[in-house]
Structure 1
Amino acid sequence: MNLAESLKWRYAVKKYADKKVSQTDLTIILEATNLSASSAGLQPYRVIVVENPEIRRKLGEGTFNPQITEASHLLVFAAIENLSVSHIDEYMQRMAYTRGLPVEALEQFRNMLVSTVTGRKQEENVIWATKQAYIGLGTALVAAAELNVDSTPMEGFDQVRFDEVLGLREKGLRSVVLLALGYRDAQKDPYVNAAKVRLPLNVFAEYVK
């Protein structure tokens, strides 16, 4: 399938079959997400891959999202809760090493990032980091569709429970959005043959010339 056909094929799966996503395909999806667009390249979020069935059972208790427990894998996108100068300095060191530059050559860029990050309130940085995570989520959705791996993005979950069960706050992270990965159960999912409903392109997109 080409990209458009892959995106027509994908939908938010409601019921998953008991079939595992291969480690190869999972790695491709994670690599694509890691390569996703990110403001200034800072990547102020992390992805937690949850495979353990017992942990996922705890995460899914009382939820209206059975995909949390039924899918092959659950990806938890988590924003860095308190962006600091140390995060920026680690990024500068990584950039200098990757591009073969002296870290001093990045001083102007570093100062701009420090000014931006420290000039905002913590919660404003969390909101910004969350938006960055959603960009990564979009990339993961497309990458999965290209591999014929089904997916379900989810917002309506107990963030406090997720943070507690996964120990995210101790890692300086806050869960913001989920992505289930697996394969649709064609016999049980009521939406498996439903046509995708979208606006006509000439209504959705407006040209300014």
Structure 2
Amino acid sequence: MSNIKALNWRYATKKFDSSRILTDDKIDVLKQAFNLTATSYGLQPLKMLVISNKELQKKLRAYSWNQKQVDTASHVMVICIENEVDEKFIANYFKRVKHVRETPDEILEPFQNSLVNDFKTKAQEEIEAWAINQAYLALGTLLTVCAAEEIDACPMEGFEPEKYDEVLDLHEKNLKSVLVLPVGYRAKDDMFSRFKKVRRPLDEVIIDID
């Protein structure tokens, strides 16, 4: 399937076929896509929970505006932000860079020090807002990969983050939930799957500058 054809095929699934479960291979593709998503500075201030426990999915539905996709989907992915993006977090990133790329310290240290100093000047609310932006980047990557893999998905902002954090013990993991993404396969009788895309004409949203 071409990229454009896949994106036309994609829609926010309203009804999943609860009898169809994604294979481990399909889930692994989504895990890898999440890990490969672009993030500012490459810092990855995110983690993702992959939930396939049906009892837990039913419990979470109550805190998801009762949206049935949460408990009928094959899996539910919860994109979370790290509560602490501090000097230690940044140092660990540069340790990975050094290990993977064998970059000398004299090249890494100026950039590392610059980032540490920059984040020290930011309020926690500003860092959190920045991290949330990275979560949306990851969501966009996941939705595109889902389309390419013919995996149905329904991105959700409509849920109670505090309740999710409580049920999933995210405080203990030093995380906050930001976005929810049920994934699986569309039900054959989901009428929304047959609706034509409604988008502005290209000439209204694209500005070519020669």
Q: TM-score per shorter chain, which class?
A: over 0.9
Looking at structure 2, the residues matched to 103 and 59 of structure 1 have their Cα atoms a distance apart, in angstroms, of: 46
Question: Do residues 20 (structure 1) and 21 (structure 2) align?
Answer: yes
Letter of the 1:136 partner, please give it.
Answer: A
Shift of 1:104: 4.6
Poorly superposed stretches of 4+, deviation over 6 Å = none
Looking at structure 1, the residues matched to 159 and 47 of structure 2 have their Cα atoms a distance apart, in angstroms, of: 18
Query: 2:110 corresponds to which residue?
Result: 108
Shift of 1:103: 3.8
Shift of 1:183: 0.2
Query: 1:83 corresponds to which residue?
Result: 85
2:130 to 128, 131, 135: 128
Query: 1:35 corresponds to which residue?
Result: 36
- Gaps in structure 1 of 5+ consecutive residues: none
Letter of the 1:52 partner, please give it.
Answer: N
Looking at structure 1, the residues matched to 120 and 72 of structure 2 have their Cα atoms a distance apart, in angstroms, of: 41
> Does the 8 Å CA contact 1:78/1:176 hold for their aligned counterparts?
yes
Shift of 1:155: 0.2
Q: How does 1:35-184 map to 2 (within 5 A)?
A: 35-61=36-62, 63-184=65-186
Shift of 1:158: 0.9
Q: Secondary structure at the match of 1:57?
A: helix
Looking at structure 2, the residues matched to 151 and 116 of structure 1 have their Cα atoms a distance apart, in angstroms, of: 37
RMSD: 1.2
Looking at structure 2, the residues matched to 100 and 125 of structure 1 have their Cα atoms a distance apart, in angstroms, of: 29
Q: Secondary structure at the match of 1:108?
A: helix
TM-score (norm 1): 0.96
> Does the 8 Å CA contact 1:6/1:145 hold for their aligned counterparts?
yes
Looking at structure 1, the residues matched to 120 and 68 of structure 2 have their Cα atoms a distance apart, in angstroms, of: 40
Letter of the 1:137 partner, please give it.
Answer: L
Shift of 1:208: 3.0
Looking at structure 2, the residues matched to 171 and 33 of structure 1 have their Cα atoms a distance apart, in angstroms, of: 19
Q: Secondary structure at the match of 2:16?
A: coil
Letter of the 1:86 partner, please give it.
Answer: K
Looking at structure 1, the residues matched to 173 and 91 of structure 2 have their Cα atoms a distance apart, in angstroms, of: 18
- Alignment CA distance shift 1:103-1:60 (3 Å): farther
> Does the 8 Å CA contact 1:93/1:103 hold for their aligned counterparts?
no
- Gaps in structure 2 of 5+ consecutive residues: none
Shift of 1:37: 1.0
Shift of 1:105: 3.2
**Count of residue correspondences:** 208
Shift of 1:53: 1.0
Q: Secondary structure at the match of 2:193?
A: coil
Question: Do residues 9 (structure 1) and 9 (structure 2) align?
Answer: yes
